[in-house]
Structure 1
């Protein structure tokens, strides 16, 4: 794969839908100027055993539905989350009953197979994924240390730069996914795994604990609640 390309996986046990979703996603990526290669999977087992580093996975929630000893969509999501995978997931389903289960740390949203050609929902989700994969959204958190800033990225890499956290915080206000939660920290909400106590700390995906200042607690909670509301709205298609 070209180093400038992203890797998008499509997992569905029905060939007709694999091809249909592939055609739609290829078209959307071309429209957005988003360089990508595509990998097709016919089962959850193929996804889990693949050596490909997937940036985005369109996952059939009903894969292997009713068949014992085979991974379904929920199993695949759970395994990827336990691996601390950075793969964003769009759940694809034919039935609304699966929507209530289409949640997870890296789940961006869901789309109904019946609406692939009649709704803009898939396009909206792809655009959101592109936004998350590109630019500043790759930053997990920033820590201020004396006169330096340690910038921690989603892939685990760290870059040290000179600068003041306050100046960076003002610059990053344009991104709703970021919040200054402490005099020494800026956090990306997409990298938060859990809130500890009554907003005393954030636990990140890599289990790092980031403190939340008492003086910033109210504003941090307001922004985080709004972020969660927006994420739920996107998941539910509201």
Structure 2
């Protein structure tokens, strides 16, 4: 995961950088001002941004507004000394508001949340021409010699790419193979029975005996991750 740190105080940037490094993150980009961040070529590829609010010229609130207009998928974690800025800090990609001095545990929780949310926006290549975001995929299945990807909006896309290749790609993105012919997006699972799995759309799919334990364990892990990141 690519993490940006934007703060006009060098010592603050270094503290946050050390926190991220100690948590195992290696792709870290430092910015000394809002202007430096907005002029950077990396801005559209950042997954999470630790953003100070009080900076000269372009402050953190303005940076957030400009990122929203640019329609980026960077999750923002505001860091400040003053809670009075909180009402202005809300936004579609703002996931937390931390008061200085921050702890490594607070940073860890926020970055875990960003990583979890980011999975929804991973693009999966159906074929050479079509890609679809994870959150828009309902399920995939095998029909004759084709793999069919069914999207949340009711569309479907066929490809000769085998289902087992999708299984490898989607394994860590909240999907689970429930039968040799079906991969389900766990985001839309409503209930798991002994032989069936029911989606929020009302659709029911078979769960084979071979996959049952894997399905229940995967759904349990997914649910725990979702709850801890809310």
TM-score tier, shorter chain, comes to: 0.5 to 0.7
Residues 104, 159 of structure 1: alpha-carbon distance in 2 compared, 3 angstrom cutoff: farther
Deviation at 1:159, TM superposition (A): 8.9
Q: What is the match of residue 149 of structure 2?
A: 149
Q: What is the match of residue 7 of structure 1?
A: 2
Q: What is the match of residue 67 of structure 2?
A: 80
SS in 1 for 2:135: strand
Residues 151, 58 of structure 1: alpha-carbon distance in 2 compared, 3 angstrom cutoff: farther
Unaligned runs of 5+ in 2: 123-133, 164-181, 191-198, 204-225
Cα RMSD for the two superposed structures: 4.0
Matches within 5 A, 1:107-122: 107-114=94-101, 116-117=102-103, 120-122=105-107
Q: What is the match of residue 42 of structure 1?
A: 32
Deviation at 1:39, TM superposition (A): 0.9
For residues 57-78 of structure 1, the C-alpha deviation after alignment (integer angstroms, 9 at most, x for no partner) is 11001122xxxxx211111111
Q: Structure 2 length as normaliser, TM-score?
A: 0.57
Give aligned pairs, total: 163
Of 15-24 and 97-106, more deviation after overlay is shown by 97-106
2-structure distance, mates of 1:63, 1:95 = 13
SS in 2 for 1:13: coil
Q: Structure 1 length as normaliser, TM-score?
A: 0.55
The runs of at least 4 consecutive aligned structure 1 residues that moved more than 3 Å come to 143-147, 158-163, 167-175, 180-184
SS in 2 for 1:140: helix
Residue 55 (str. 1) matches residue 47 (str. 2): yes
When Rg is computed on C-alpha atoms for both structures, the one with the higher figure is: 2
SS in 2 for 1:86: coil
Q: Does structure 1 conserve the Cα–Cα contact (< 8 Å) formed by 2:140 and 2:183? A: no
Q: Does structure 1 conserve the Cα–Cα contact (< 8 Å) formed by 2:188 and 2:200? A: no
Q: What is the match of residue 135 of structure 2?
A: 140
The higher relative CO (CA closer than 8 Å, separation ≥ 6) is in: 1
Unaligned runs of 5+ in 1: 1-5, 65-69, 153-157, 185-226
Matches within 5 A, 1:202-217: none
Q: What is the match of residue 172 of structure 1?
A: 187
Deviation at 1:151, TM superposition (A): 5.7
Deviation at 1:132, TM superposition (A): 2.7
Residues 44, 142 of structure 1: alpha-carbon distance in 2 compared, 3 angstrom cutoff: same
Deviation at 1:105, TM superposition (A): 1.2
Residue 127 (str. 1) matches residue 112 (str. 2): yes
